[in-house]
Amino acid sequence: MAEKTYPEILHDAAKVIQGMMKGIAISKVRDIASTCTNFKIGKTGETLVERKNQPDYKDAYKYIKEVYSATIPSLADDIEAELIRMFIFHPKCDNIKDGFASHSDPMRQDAEKYYVYVVWND
């Protein structure tokens, strides 16, 4: 068996880190879901304050928290989709469409950072 090249090692390390970050995001959503009345998972290229102040969330949810962030939009897309897929049938979850259907939801493509977040109420 041939030794791995440096790019292959970096790729493997990135996959491990991505998996760890996904696990942390899952834990954050579980913590919120255990104590809130309702929640919704989303993604944005805006700051969390900008996103929370949009008309669809401004009066509907009291809190917003980052559960994952990335500088590459497709990474945020993937984590958001997996989180929604995991939690969509939770009785407190307000997400309506399956996470993989949200891949087509637009995000700013010029953002410095992309966030996966949870909005919720007490």
Tell me which residue of 27, 28, 74, 80 sits closest to 51, measured CA to CA.
Answer: 80
CA–CA separation, 42 and 60 (whole Å): 14
What confidence score (pLDDT) does residue 109 get? 77
CA–CA separation, 50 and 62 (whole Å): 14
Structure confidence by residue, pLDDT tens digits, 94-122: 999 766 656 556 677 788 999 999 999 99
CA–CA separation, 97 and 110 (whole Å): 26
Structure confidence by residue, pLDDT tens digits, 13-61: 878 888 888 899 999 999 999 999 999 999 999 999 999 999 999 999 9
| Separation of first and last alpha carbons in the chain | 55
Task: Enter the pTM of the model.
Answer: 0.85
46: left (phi over 0), alpha (psi -120 to 50) or beta: beta
What confidence score (pLDDT) does residue 100 get? 62
What confidence score (pLDDT) does residue 86 get? 94
Across the strands, what pairs with 119?
40, 64
